[in-house]
Structures are given as structure tokens and as C-alpha cells.
Structure 1
């Protein structure tokens, strides 16, 4: 009986909030304060619009070329409010140099206002060794012309402007959902507190498996999915290429996942790679690129041979690390 009284009181509060929610929901919620992130400046910046003058509704390309340190990574955040523009798609391409990297973004968009229209600023998330930072490319202007001929207005083919937006009142249950969320969070906090007090004191640390074991387990999982028989040859080669690149990068100590095919082979030739079947690896890289990017087809036998190459690559190149040596002053075993 003592436990039912608090639960009954909680449900009475929730019922009262549901009844009063339509009146309370009319009050606008305060906007959260935006979080500030430290800005970073690239080494060089180039911005270009192609073309400079477009017709209303026609797509154009907003190209941004950023030169930055090699340990920085730029990712474009599409603005939530695009105004008179529509973002269609974007591409990202990175090229590493000796002491810096160049990342090129090509954003395709279209405008729906006439005249000299300001393109929205492009915000970027920047991952650096010091932590996440931000960078913003200021907006540019593009000349937007009409799709009608100059004498269209005289011939009666005028354009009508867009109707301005109107406010539409909508019943909101935000306050009720907020209260229910607070109650659920309080219940979850109480459960977590009980678990924290009664948690097991001994935590077993699972050691990391060796590289060859992890790579073979990934190949076994890919083999079990049997993607080629399900018509997913392209997905099969993407997964297999990622496994092999990840193995080579960890085995020889370089960033293989970010390299192009030519950069991958060039990096391996600069390193000491005893036992590496370079010709077979080059053949596999070319074959996987044809399937992934040129839409080439691959037979079931070719997929099976490519998977077998992954296993043989591990067998011929992996060298187990030497066992840890005992210190010089370690006690010798006693003779029985």
C-alpha cells in the first residue's frame, strides 16, 4: 500500500499536465544557446562558383579547395537554413602531399530568387589532434536570371511571386512529453544508481586478439554472409578491400584506408615488406576497383579466388610479435 501512494501521486500530476498542455504549449520555448567551437584557419583557401551567372532553378557548383595540415580532416555540414537555395548533393576528395593535404568539396545547388543572391556560408567540422574544431567559408554571391526572354513581360508571360509563409497554429504536446521524459530520466537515474551500488567489483579485461586472428575472423564473417550468391558483388568487394587494406595498414604501419590504389602500392614499395605478393596484390586491387567504381561484373569463381587471396596474404606476410622478455634480475627457477 505504501508503494502505491507515490505512484498514484505521479499519475495525478501527469494527468493535470495533460489537461493544461494546450494552454501551456502556446508559450514559445526559449532557444538553446549555441555551443561555441574554436575556429581553425587552413593554410590556403580557394572558392569558385561555376557558372557565375545561372538561370533560376538551374544547378550550379560551389567549389571549395582547402589546403591544411595532413593530420586535420575537414567534413562539410550542410546548413539547416538554406534560404533561397536548395542543396542537391556534394562530393569530397582529399589528396595528401609531403607536408600538407588538399581537400576539395564540390557542392551542387540551385537558386530560387532573382538578382544577385548571397550563397549561404559553408560550415565545416575539423578533426585535429588537439580536438574537434570548426571552420566557416563566408558566403559568395551568384547572379540569378529569369528563364523568360527579355520581352516576355510585354507578351503577357510575367512571373508571379511566391506567397509569403503564414503562421498555422498547431497543438503541441511538447510540455507533456518533456515531463514524461524527465520522469523517465529520473527513473533511469535511480536504476543506474542501484546498479552502481551493487555492481561487481572485479572487471575482467579481455585482451586484444592478434592481428592475424582478427583479420581471419573478419574474412570468415564475410565468407559466411555469401554476398555474391545474393547478387551483392559490389558490396562483397568493398568489404573485402576494406579488410585487406586495414590488415596491410596495421601490419606495416601506415594509413592504408585513406590511400588511393596507386598510393597504396607506392607506400608498400617504400616499406620493408618481405613475402608480400606484390603482383597478386596489384591484380586484386585493379579487379576490386573495376567492380567498385566501373560497375564491372565478377563471377562466383572470381569472388572465391579474391577471398582466398585474402587468407593467403595473411599466411605469407604476418609475423607474430616476439614474446616479452623477462628482466635481467628476474629470479631463476628453483632446481627440484
Structure 2
């Protein structure tokens, strides 16, 4: 049995060695081509000028279940791509129409050919491709027809050239220096004038009773009640009396309410102070100033007379009596006879 099996293996091996190997799959095989139902290509504007942008429009009519995608080549030759736009077909319309718009510009003059443009096509049978044919167009120059006869011609791009630009920096610097010098001169003259000015004579402050009496005399001379300005009269008289009391007894009487004023004065316990008269004046003045009460000229004269009375009774300040000197005892020693 072993000899029979060995013989069978030897007979089969040459046959297997001579059998052709299966053909390998084609590497990078391209999808099959498909032709659309219609294709149109147009250039706008029809006359293409050197360096000026133009639109290359591709209109493809195809079945609704086909989808076209443009695959631009990396090199467009004498043309430069500026922008690309795709208008998809309307849904449910048969056949479908897909529009591609390429915004290009040309670099050379004469008859130029737009390259073939490949498209990837998705179909129910699988991926396919379509190659749009190229198009030849004429690129004209931007110079007028008589440019060459006049001596004008296209020139190549020139290298960077230094251009002199007018600058006013130095002028502004000089103007700034002049302005600074002028300001310095003005400041120096002002300083000299200020330093050499005669000093105003500072008068010493008059005593409190003298200033208060002068204020009362001035208010009396204005005769505000006769002018119908009773409210102004009480405002002025109240400020004079409150200012005197505050400076006389050391507190801010102008900022006190009427009740706070009386409380503060009771705390100070001034001697011979006309408290009843002050309470009557404060109440009357508050009615005139804030309650718009009427006041007769006689009441105004009595209020002004109270101001003089208050000043006479509280000024001059009482001087505390000096302590009595202690008796001096003279010790006498024994008399020697």
C-alpha cells in the first residue's frame, strides 16, 4: 500500500507543477467610463483677456440616480483656478442636470486649450468615471490694437524697486521743538510774574462778637421784610445766630436740626443763656422757612432784636476767677532780749 501511495504522489506532482497560476487582479484598475445624456461647455465672457478672470461652465445632463463630482487635476497648464462652485440637480427631476462653474484666469496669449476634466460618477451599478473633453479658446491682450505701433508692449514682472516716499517727520519734530520752547518761555514769564507779585495783606480775623454784630447790622440795613422777602430774612438771621452759637460753644450748629441745637446747648450749660427766647425764635423761623407761614414786620424786628440780645448776654465769655492766694504765715522765733 505504501508503494502504491508513493507512486500516485509522484505521478500527480508534475501535473500540479505544470498547471497555470490564476491571473492576479489588475492593480489600480480605473472604473469604467460612462457617458452622460448631455454635456455642454461654455466660456463667459466669450472674449477672454490676459489676466482677467472668466467663468468656464460645464453643464452635465444625466440620470437622476447618477451623481457627478469634479476631480480637478493639480496642474491646469496656462490657467489658474480662482474658485470652484457646483450646483446640484433638482430633486425628483428626470433627467437631472448638474452645473459646475470654474473661475479661471489665463497666463499666456493666443490659442490655449483647457485640459480635460475628470469626473467621479456614482451609479447604482458602482463607481464609474467621465472625462470632459478639453476646449480651445483664444486669449487676447489687454493693450489696444495700436499699442505695438505706438511703442507699448507687455513687460515681465519687475523686481522690487525702492521708491522714495516724502516724509514730514523732520518737519513735525521741528514744530514740536518750537512749541516746547514757546511753552517754556510762557511758563518762565508766568513764574517771574507770579514770584514778583506784591503779596496781599492778610488782615487778622476780627473777634467773634464784632463779626456777628457786623452781620446783624448788614442784615438790618438791607431791610428785607420791607421788600416782601420775609423768608430770606429768616434764613439769613438763622444762619447768623447758628454760626455764632456754633463758634461760641464749639459745635457744628449749622448742620443741627432745631431739636439737636437745643439738646447740644443744654449739654454745654451756658450761663445767662436766653433759652426761652431761642426756642421761640427757632420755632418761628422754622414756620416761616419751611411751613410758609406769614410774619409781620414787627415780628421780624423782634427776631432781629433777639439776635442782639443773644450776643449781649453770651459775650464776652466769662473769665473764671483766679484762685485766692493762700495766707503766708511768718514763724517767729524766740526773742532774745
User: TM-score if structure 2 supplies the norm length?
Assistant: 0.38
The structure whose Rg is larger is 2
TM-score (norm 1): 0.38
